[in-house]
Structure 1
Amino acid sequence: MSSAFKLGLIITLLSVGIDQAFKIYMVDYMAAYPFGIEVTSFFRLVMVWNSGVSFGMFAGGETTRWILISLSTIISIVLLIMMTRAARKFLASGLGLVLGGAIGNIIDRIHFGRVADFFDFDLIVMRWPAFNIADVAIVCGVAILLVDSLFFDDKSSNNKT
């Protein structure tokens, strides 16, 4: 097992653990605050259940739920395989974050039938849809993967003409 894979696996497990611990706490805690908690003028903690994907797209019933669980599981397996082959810790870290976030949201879909979201930003120009720690892990992981592909991709440096 490579050191890059070990790091990616640790990041995956930490992402899932932090996400799920926070969700367990917040689902119970937010029950007392049905209208949310205003933290600042632009940020609230809320309890939002999302049966779809990003921005609530593809929200639906049980069939949609199991399709999303199946697709997310397949993507997670692909990410895990990619992580086993990652030569760089930076790449494995990005894959680990995306994988951890995906697993966190899969657990929600299986356990609750939908994903628990808590962070609600009301920016001057728009209100951002509520999201959770798993979503943050996925976005950060994708950003790392983008940087890795732009600046550290071995294939692109070997194929220059």
Structure 2
Amino acid sequence: MDFDLEELVNVEQTFYDSGYADGRTHGRIHGLIEGRALGREKGFEIGEELGFYEGAARIWESVYIGQGKEGHRAVTHARALLTLLSTFPSTNPHEEDGIDISALLRQVRSRYKALCASVGVRPSLRAGELVDGEENIEGNGGQGDAKKRSVWKVDATPGAETGLSF
């Protein structure tokens, strides 16, 4: 009977190392699965937000151009926002590309806020929800029929210089 007493002394460490290696490979597999799911979810959220910004920019650009106000400040902001949105990557960029998604997203949000300020609306991604302080007709905190209101709350009434007719 040949056996090594040294193995008996380190039996606890041997089982620990074996369990650690198994746990690491198992964790790596589940980490990849969860990472992909989270990436898909966050990618959808960013895409939805960017689509909202693009739609708002296109609408305000067409409203002002339709009224013959090609050189209006809102048209300039809308075009700058659309240009910035066109530079946003639609695929997962590599680190060596040097694209900072969060910085680009901050720039897009800033351009959107500038566009909203130039047309006199409150910037909001949640366009269909009630604005803070507003309640529905019954005042029961969202239960029942909500009062009808426009999608964008107009902060300043348009003066004679805007000439909006919608």
| Higher normalized contact order (CA 8 Å, seq sep 6+, divided by chain length) | 1
Richer in strand (by share) = 1
Under a length normalisation based on structure 1, what TM-score does the superposition of the two structures give? 0.34
| Bigger CA radius of gyration | 2
Richer in helix (by share) = 1
